[in-house]
Every structure is written in structure tokens, then in C-alpha cells.
């Protein structure tokens, strides 16, 4: 029994009374029994023969996943014909090219695509008929009893289907898979016992692809399992199907599993700190027990999470692209079983799979039964091209003997994938042969390895690395560049608007841990989704082709008028849209038209202070009160316009002219600082802490003091320079994670309760830490919607005679040098007229730089300088060419800090 028709008949007779398919019928689920399905296949197959379909004729299927898809496929192969699966999302050109190349006779589609398909087929002379599966004609063909069922002789080498891997050119590439190829692959999977007749498989991946065709349709059918078609890829609908229908196997691509991982970990992050620590320790212990014994205790420990996927869900299967190793490991720790495999369309498609009992994270598994696999042209690390042979390897490319000869040599199929085999026989993939970057030095770079190293430590949704010519007269040299799609949800959550600076900081951190030839030398940010294959793999060549001109021209992507969506055009033409975009073009001096997709920070250069002034400018234009937070929440021009339009709808009264805020300059800030911080922030500022607070701070800081003394040999100089009374600002160079604690433990009065610290807001988002903000006298700061409130709180504290400790550089230094000061420091110092006390931390960069996960022993010194007058610093700054008093104060104070650092 070496053809799909005979195997299907045998199985459908054996399991005649069992459910073969369950599908979404809107508000209920429909069932199709094996016996009923077999009869429908026989009737449709007979109808095709009566219509004149002959052996090896081609029949196209252009459908989403639904019961009619396998019905047409099995009817086609039962008639001895060849199935041509098509992607429902293909362009008209792609469909037409494939239909012409394959010389299809019939085409099946749904009602929504019927007219389009008819138009396309009129230009394809071989097509005799287009049939809608929603039509009465199709339903009659399925239900009409044929006069005689004719069995066509089918051999194992007869083609069963042709899967096209490309249809964008006039010569698309079709992979010919025979009955023997597909049957052999299903038989090998069956021997691994991955799916049994008692299993129910959720099918959401498009069936025109070899992976889903074999694993979610042929394999379950030919082993007597049940297939579930939810009718959508929406997460909640799929989860509902899992729960209601007791699904046990879910086959998907890495993107979907990564989405599961993100949602689960986001939920776990809400656990309070002490409980979270206990939870993670417990999880680690249970995971180690699972690895050693195979007993999946985390599944029961996290019953609430697993219940979302239904009582019967036992196995996740991932393929089509590489699964994120961190996500895979975490899912295993959480009690899920997720098996990664590997294959290609040309191999029907599965080549390797992780075994149920001994999966290896990061690997794509062991060769499946009857598949031989080896590595050729190995480098010094044992990495080379993966080549395979077996009964599942294709017959060849349709009518392309040249391509077939290039791919199959001496019976071995050359996959074009790079990888190595470990001592246990597990295959690890490292990239594509064609995607290997050979630098001018002759060194080989595997882009996927670089992407994984950087993206695991950077807030990005997508990243694609490729080579480009170096600039500045070194065009013959090749360097690595990355196109990055930022994770805007991350930036929103942590209140950060400076996308480029944050991403650059994270990339720089990673670069320091990599050898020079593996470092990214530049990056390009876009909000567009990167081109991907059907199964979610980034098309590197397409990304490179699309973005190389923009990178070489040093331009961020700006869509032309014809590329803007209808929604964007409507926004641009709206009353508020035109005013805002005109104002932005004027204020930013941009040399092109502003578009709705422009990022305020990245494209228009509007930083946190600029947003506050932007809010004031818009107040003047629209005559309404606009909180800085409204502007702060906007990432793009579109976000800004939508936010202002919503505010205009709510606003019923315009601000009186006398109450409008001046748009810029010292008067602007003086006016803003006259307003008190919001009540919720005032309630967290304790100006008169009592003994209990002092004792709490003392007990908290004592362990840090002992650690600094014993392990870092901490020394303190110039304590007497700290004024006895305020207001004053301790401004400190920012070098490490230790900085704030070092200053607190070095003060003359330990602990000093009249000193407030400015800290990055996200660090205090954990509930237990959030409750300590008042006791620790911390003013949370971010560069998003709370920026102005933080400045007001700082100003309020200083005006009440209390003191402040802050880090005017904002970010920790990357190289140990003192970076430029943020303008907010100058504004606060000038308007409050507080004395400035420079504080230099020495040795902290060596002890714990931001590029290291853990600290190391190194002597540390804290040096307090003499108090400085802000007016003197402003005068010194003007000598350096400052444009205004705020900038001058920043320059002068920075020079004083550098002098203190260099003083021995």
C-alpha cells in the first residue's frame, strides 16, 4: 500500500463511525465522520472523472482551511490527478503564473474569490472550469451517487501534488511530490508515535504549504486522528476551540508560540516581588525534576495556565522557522511540551523531529525513520551544509531539470541549510548557505546567530541583519547592518520615547560581548512589518533589497502619497491634521512633508522637553488646555493627531487668553513651575519623616554600606563639602547600578532624610518597591508622560528647602566617560537657584558597568566637590558657546564635574 488513496480508504473504513473533522459553523461546531467523508471523496472523485479529468491532470485548490480542502485533495489524488494548492493571499499575478506553468484543468475556490479566479482563468487556456465550493453545483457533485466508481491505477511514483515555492516570476518553481514521498513521511511520523487515533489536531496553518499539508492534514487522517478547523487564526477563538473540543495537539509556527510565551510571562510579571522569587525557585526545581525523571509536575503546579488550552492539550509542534530558544525553554519550564522539527517543501517536508521522551532545547531533533542526514563541507566547528536522502525526497522540480540537477546530486538532496550534529546525533541549524555573509576579511558570519544575540537583549519586534558596504571611502569593505522594527509596547510600558538612544544603548551593550567581526555597525529603524514567508520566516533578500537604498542614502523610510493608506490620507486632510502637520513642519524645520507615520522623536527630533513645548504650541493653535501627558503618549504624528482630535471632541470651552501658557523660554518654565505637582505625587513626598522612617532607612542601607566597605574597599572624600542646609543638588556621574546606593551610604548624616533621589520610573513599577517610594524619598522620572510632573516634584522639594540627588546624564555611561547633560538638569538648577554639589564616583564603572550582568571586586571611591553657584556655572557655560542659559548651565556644571574627576 504505497499510495494515498488506498491508505485513506483503509483508514476511513477502519474508523468509519468516528469523527474525522470538526469545523466552525459560526455559533456551533459541525462534525464529519470518516465513513461520511470517504463517501463524499468517492462521489467527488467520480464526478471529476465524468467531467473528463484524466490521470496526471492538474486541479488547483484556492481555499482557506475548511473541510472542503481535504475533500478536494483526496478526491483529486483518488482520480489519479495532481493537486495544485494555492495561497489564498497570493497576488493575481502569482496565481496566474502558477496556473499557466502547471497547465491546470480545474480550479476550486470559495465564493469570495470566485469572480477573481474566473477572471484569472480566462487568461489560462488550459483551464476548463472554475468551481465554487459554496455553489449548488459543487454540493450536487459531492452528494450525487455516481453510476459507477472507477478506480484509476495509481503507483507510488505517480505525482500527488505540486507545491510552488515561488510564483512571482514568469517561471515559478514547483516541487513535485509523489504518493510515495508523502506516504513515506506520514509513515515515519507515525512510527515516532507523535499523533495517535485518539488525538485531535488543531489546523490553522494554511494548507497550501507542505508543513501544514502533511502534519495537520495527511498525517492525522492517515492515522485515524481528528482534525479541527477553527476557521480563523485569532488567539481567543483558537483557544476556545481547544477547550470546547478537547484538542490534544497544536501545530504552529514559532511566531505563534512566541506570542503565547509573551502573554504568559506578562501575566507572571504581575506577581509581587517576594512571591515571584519563591515562584521562580519552585519552577526551577520542578523543571529539573522533569528533565531528570520525565514527570511533568509544572503542568499540575500551573493548572490555571494550562486550563486555558483545554484539559486534553498535550503537545505543541513547531516548524517552518527557528523557535526562540528562550521562549522554548520557558514553555518547558511552565509544563508545556513543545517539539521543534525541521524540513523543507522538497522533502515532503519533515526531516528531523525532537523525540517526545528526550527533546533537546535549541535543536531541531533527530532524523526521522528512513531519513539519512549528514553534514558536508564542514568548517573548524563542524558546521556545514545539511544534505539528506530518503523516500520522502521530491521527484524534482516541475519541468525544471536544471534546478533538479543542482539540488539532487548522487541521490542526496542539498538543503542549502547550515548546521552541525552534536555527540547525541541532534541537529542544530545555524543559517542558510546563501545567507552566509563573507566579510572582506574572509570571515563567515551567520546572520541568524547575530540576530538572536542582539534581539534577546533589545526591545525589538523584528530584526534582520545583512551586509552592506562600509561608508566614508571604504566601500570595498563589508560591514553588518540591521533593520529593526521596535517593540512600541515595551517603550509605552516603560514610559520611554527615545527609541533610537535606547536601542543604540542595548545594541552597544551586546556588541561589547561579541568579537569585532560579529558586531553590528549600524541600524535602520522602521515601523513597517518586515517581509516574511507564509510560515513567518523573514525574507532576508527582500529586506536587503528594500532597505539598502534607504540606508545608503541615510534616509529613514518616508512613504510617498500613493503608499499612504486611506485612513492616513483622511487624517492628513482633517482640520486638526492639517494644522498639526503644518505646525510640525514649521517648528522642526523638516525639509520634506510630514507624514502620519513619522516618529516624533526619531524622524522629527522632538525629545521629552520638545514635547512639552509642543503641547504649549498646540494649546495656542487650538485654544484648549492640552496636558503634556497627551502629547507624551504619542509615538507617531498619527497618534498625536488622533489624540488631539479626541480632546477637541471632549472640550467644550476654550481657555481664556490670559490662562494660556507661553510657548518657550524661561517664562514658560517659570509659569509651569508655579503649579504644584498632582496630589498623587504630593502624597508621596514626605517632607517631615519621623524616627520610624529613619530607622527603616538605616536598616535598609546598613547591608549596602557593609558590602561596599568589605567587597569594594569604599573610600569617601570631601564629605565636609556637602552643605549643612539646603537647597542643594548633588549631581553625580552615572556609571553603574551601584551609584544611588553609594551616594546614600557616603553622606555625612547617614541616613540623610532631607535628601530626595530621582530614579527611573520603571524600576519602581513592582508593587512591593512601589510602596517604598515615599519611605525612600524617591521621585520617579521617565521621559514620557510623567516628565513634567517629575520636574515639578523636584522643583517643589527644592523650594521647600530640601535637597536632591540626580544623574544629569540620564543613561549610564558606556565607556566610563561623562556624557552630555540633559537639558532638564539645567532648567531645574537655573529656576530653583539651588547650590550645585558635584559628586564623582570612581571605580564603579570597572566594578559593574552596564554591559555586565554581575559585579566584580574593584576599589570604589566617592568624591564630593565644593558647592557651586548656578549663576557662575551659567557664565562658564556661555564661554563654550551655549545658546541659552539652560544649556550654558549644563555645560558649566559638566566641566566642573570633569575637573573634579581628573583632579588627583
pLDDT at 655 over 70: no
Q: Which pLDDT score is estimated for 537?
A: 77
**Can you read off the three cell numbers belonging to residue 408?**
539532487
SS3 463: strand
Q: Residue 769: pLDDT band by 50, 70, 90 thresholds?
A: very low
pLDDT at 765 over 60: no
pTM of the complete model: 0.62
Rounded mean pLDDT of the chain? 84
Report the range of poorest mean pLDDT among 54-63, 148-157, 280-289, 431-440: 431-440
Report the range of poorest mean pLDDT among 8-22, 50-64, 366-380, 448-462: 448-462
- The string of pLDDT tens digits covering residues 219-229 is 999 999 999 99
pLDDT at 502 over 90: no
Reported as type and span, the H/E element at residue 823 is helix 823-832
DSSP calls for 236-274: HHHHHHHHHTT--EEEE-HHHHHHHHHHHHHHHTTS-HH
pLDDT at 683 over 80: no
Q: Residue 474: pLDDT band by 50, 70, 90 thresholds?
A: very low
Q: Residue 657: pLDDT band by 50, 70, 90 thresholds?
A: very low
Q: Which pLDDT score is estimated for 596?
A: 83
Q: Which pLDDT score is estimated for 79?
A: 94
Q: How big is the CA angle at 459 (ends 453 and 465), to the nearest 5 degrees?
A: 45
Higher pLDDT, residue 759 or 53: 53
pLDDT at 549 over 90: no
SS3 375: strand
Q: Residue 813: pLDDT band by 50, 70, 90 thresholds?
A: confident
* C-alpha torsion angle, residues 476, 482, 483, 488 (rounded to 10): -160
Q: Which pLDDT score is estimated for 654?
A: 41
- The string of pLDDT tens digits covering residues 718-761 is 999 999 888 999 999 998 878 888 999 999 887 788 899 887 65
Q: Residue 770: pLDDT band by 50, 70, 90 thresholds?
A: very low
Pairing of strands 835-842, 861-864: antiparallel
**Can you read off the three cell numbers belonging to residue 691?**
524616627
Burial readout 301-338 (b: 16 or more C-beta within 10 A, e: otherwise):
bbeebbeebbeebbbbbbbbbbbbeebbebbbbbbbbb
pLDDT at 338 over 90: yes
Q: Which pLDDT score is estimated for 493?
A: 72
Q: Which pLDDT score is estimated for 662?
A: 40
Reported as type and span, the H/E element at residue 659 is none
Any alpha helices (H) in 459-607, and if so which ranges?
A: 488-493, 499-511, 540-552, 566-573, 575-588
pLDDT at 602 over 70: no
- The string of pLDDT tens digits covering residues 399-413 is 999 999 999 999 999
Q: Which pLDDT score is estimated for 248?
A: 96
- The string of pLDDT tens digits covering residues 836-876 is 999 999 999 889 887 776 788 899 999 999 999 999 999 88
Q: Which residues pair with 460 in a beta bridge?
A: 486
Amino acid at each position: 500500500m504505497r499510495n494515498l488513496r488506498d491508505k485513506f480508504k483503509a483508514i476511513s473504513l477502519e474508523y468509519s463511525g468516528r469523527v474525522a473533522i470538526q469545523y466552525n459553523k459560526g455559533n456551533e461546531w459541525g462534525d464529519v465522520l470518516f465513513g461520511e467523508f470517504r463517501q463524499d471523496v468517492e462521489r467527488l472523485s467520480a464526478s471529476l472523472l465524468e467531467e473528463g479529468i484524466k490521470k496526471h491532470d492538474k486541479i488547483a485548490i484556492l481555499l482557506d482551511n475548511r473541510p472542503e480542502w481535504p475533500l478536494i485533495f483526496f478526491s483529486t489524488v483518488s482520480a489519479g490527478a495532481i493537486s495544485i494548492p494555492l495561497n489564498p493571499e497570493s497576488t493575481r499575478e502569482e496565481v496566474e503564473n502558477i496556473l499557466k506553468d502547471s497547465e491546470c484543468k480545474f480550479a476550486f475556490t470559495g465564493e469570495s474569490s470566485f469572480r477573481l479566479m474566473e477572471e484569472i482563468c480566462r487568461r489560462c487556456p488550459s483551464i476548463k472550469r472554475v468551481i465554487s465550493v459554496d455553489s449548488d453545483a459543487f454540493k450536487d457533485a459531492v452528494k450525487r451517487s455516481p453510476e459507477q466508481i472507477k478506480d484509476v491505477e495509481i503507483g507510488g511514483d505517480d505525482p500527488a501534488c505540486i507545491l510552488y515555492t515561488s510564483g512571482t516570476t514568469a517561471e515559478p518553481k514547483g516541487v513535485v511530490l509523489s504518493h510515495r514521498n508523502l506516504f513515506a513521511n506520514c509513515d515515519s511520523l507515525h512510527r515516532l508515535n507523535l499523533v495517535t487515533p485518539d488525538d485531535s489536531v488543531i489546523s490553522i496553518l494554511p494548507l497550501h504549504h507542505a508543513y501544514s499539508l502533511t502534519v495537520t492534514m495527511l498525517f492525522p487522517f492517515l492515522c485515524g486522528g481528528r482534525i479541527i478547523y477553527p476557521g480563523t487564526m485569532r488567539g481567543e477563538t483558537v483557544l476556545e476551540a481547544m477547550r470546547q473540543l478537547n484538542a490534544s495537539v497544536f501545530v504552529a509556527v514559532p511566531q505563534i508560540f512566541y506570542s503565547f510565551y509573551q502573554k504568559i510571562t506578562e501575566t507572571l510579571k504581575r506577581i509581587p516581588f517576594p512571591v515571584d522569587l519563591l515562584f521562580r525557585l519552585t519552577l526551577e526545581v520542578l523543571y529539573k525534576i522533569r528533565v531528570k525523571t520525565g514527570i511533568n509536575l509544572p503542568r499540575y503546579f500551573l493548572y490555571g495556565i494550562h486550563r486555558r488550552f483545554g484539559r486534553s492539550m498535550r503537545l505543541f509542534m513547531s516548524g517552518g522557522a527557528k523557535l526562540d530558544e528562550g521562549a522554548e525553554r520557558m514553555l518547558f519550564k511552565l509544563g508545556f511540551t513543545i517539539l521543534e522539527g525541521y524540513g523543507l517543501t522538497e522533502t515532503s517536508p519533515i526531516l528531523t523531529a525532537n523525540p517526545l521522551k528526550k527533546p533537546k532545547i535549541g535543536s531541531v531533533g533527530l532524523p526521522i525513520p528512513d531519513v539519512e542526514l549528514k553534514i558536508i563541507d564542514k568548517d573548524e566547528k563542524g558546521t556545514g551544509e545539511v544534505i539528506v536522502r530518503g523516500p520522502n525526497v521530491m521527484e524534482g522540480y516541475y519541468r525544471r531539470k536544471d534546478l533538479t540537477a543542482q539540488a539532487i546530486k548522487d541521490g542526496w538532496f542539498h538543503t542549502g541549510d547550515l548546521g552541525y550534529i552534536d555527540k547525541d546525533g541532534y541537529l542544530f541549524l545555524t543559517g542558510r548557505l546563501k545567507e552566509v555573509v563573507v566579510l572582506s576579511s574572509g570571515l563567515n558570519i551567520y546572520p541568524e546567530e547575530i540576530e538572536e544575540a542582539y534581539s534577546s537583549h533589545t526591545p525589538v519586534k523584528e530584526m534582520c541583519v545583512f551586509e552592506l558596504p562600509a561608508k566614508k571611502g571604504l566601500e570595498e569593505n563589508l560591514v553588518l547592518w540591521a533593520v529593526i522594527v521596535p517593540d512600541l509596547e515595551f517603550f509605552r510600558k516603560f514610559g520611554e520615547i527615545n527609541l533610537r538612544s535606547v536601542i543604540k544603548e542595548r545594541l552597544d551593550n551586546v556588541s561589547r560581548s561579541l568579537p569585532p567581526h560579529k558586531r553590528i555597525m549600524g541600524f535602520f529603524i522602521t515601523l513597517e512589518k518586515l517581509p516574511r514567508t507564509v510560515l513567518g520566516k523573514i525574507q532576508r533578500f527582500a529586506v536587503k533589497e528594500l532597505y539598502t537604498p534607504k540606508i545608503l542614502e541615510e534616509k529613514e523610510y518616508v512613504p510617498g502619497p500613493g503608499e499612504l493608506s486611506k485612513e492616513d490620507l483622511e487624517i492628513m486632510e482633517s482640520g486638526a491634521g492639517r494644522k498639526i502637520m503644518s505646525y510640525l513642519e514649521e517648528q522642526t524645520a523638516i525639509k520634506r512633508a510630514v507624514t502620519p507615520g513619522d516618529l516624533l522623536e526619531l524622524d522629527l527630533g522632538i525629545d521629552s522637553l520638545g514635547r512639552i513645548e509642543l503641547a504649549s504650541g498646540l494649546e495656542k493653535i487650538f485654544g484648549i488646555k492640552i496636558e503634556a501627558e497627551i502629547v507624551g503618549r504619542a509615538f507617531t504624528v498619527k497618534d498625536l493627531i488622533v489624540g488631539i482630535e479626541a480632546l477637541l471632541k471632549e472640550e467644550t470651552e476654550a481657555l481664556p487668553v490670559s490662562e494660556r501658557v507661553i510657548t518657550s523660554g524661561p517664562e514658560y518654565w517659570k509659569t509651569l513651575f508655579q503649579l504644584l505637582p498632582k496630589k498623587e505625587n504630593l502624597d508621596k513626598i514626605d517632607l517631615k519623616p519621623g524616627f520610624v522612617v529613619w530607622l527603616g532607612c538605616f536598616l535598609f542601607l546598613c547591608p549596602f554600606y557593609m558590602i561596599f566597605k568589605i567587597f569594594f574597599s569604599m573610600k569617601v572624600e570631601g564629605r565636609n563639602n556637602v552643605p549643612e542646609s539646603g537647597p542643594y543638588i548633588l549631581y553625580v556621574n552615572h556609571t553603574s547600578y551601584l551609584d544611588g546606593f553609594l551616594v546614600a551610604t557616603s553622606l555625612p548624616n547617614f541616613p540623610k532624610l532631607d535628601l530626595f533621589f530621582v530614579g527611573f520610573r520603571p524600576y519602581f513599577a513592582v508593587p512591593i518597591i512601589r510602596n517604598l517610594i515615599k519611605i525612600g524619598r524617591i521621585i520617579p522620572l521617565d521621559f514620557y508622560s510623567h516628565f513634567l510632573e517629575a520636574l515639578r516634584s523636584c522643583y517643589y522639594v527644592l523650594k521647600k528647602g530640601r535637597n536632591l540627588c540626580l544623574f544629569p546624564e540620564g543613561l549610564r555611561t558606556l565607556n566610563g566617560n561623562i556624557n552630555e547633560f540633559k537639558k532638564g538638569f539645567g532648567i531645574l538648577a537655573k529656576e530653583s537657584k539651588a547650590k550645585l554639589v558635584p559628586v564623582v564616583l570612581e571605580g564603579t564603572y570597572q566594578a559593574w558597568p552596564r554591559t555586565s550582568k554581575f559585579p566584580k571586586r574593584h576599589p570604589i571611591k566617592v568624591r564630593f566637590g565644593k558647592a557651586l553657584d548656578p549663576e557662575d556655572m551659567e557664565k562658564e557655560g556661555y564661554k563654550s558657546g551655549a545658546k541659552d542659559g539652560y544649556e550654558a548651565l549644563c555645560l558649566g556644571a559638566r566641566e566642573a564635574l570633569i575637573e573634579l574627576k581628573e583632579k588627583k
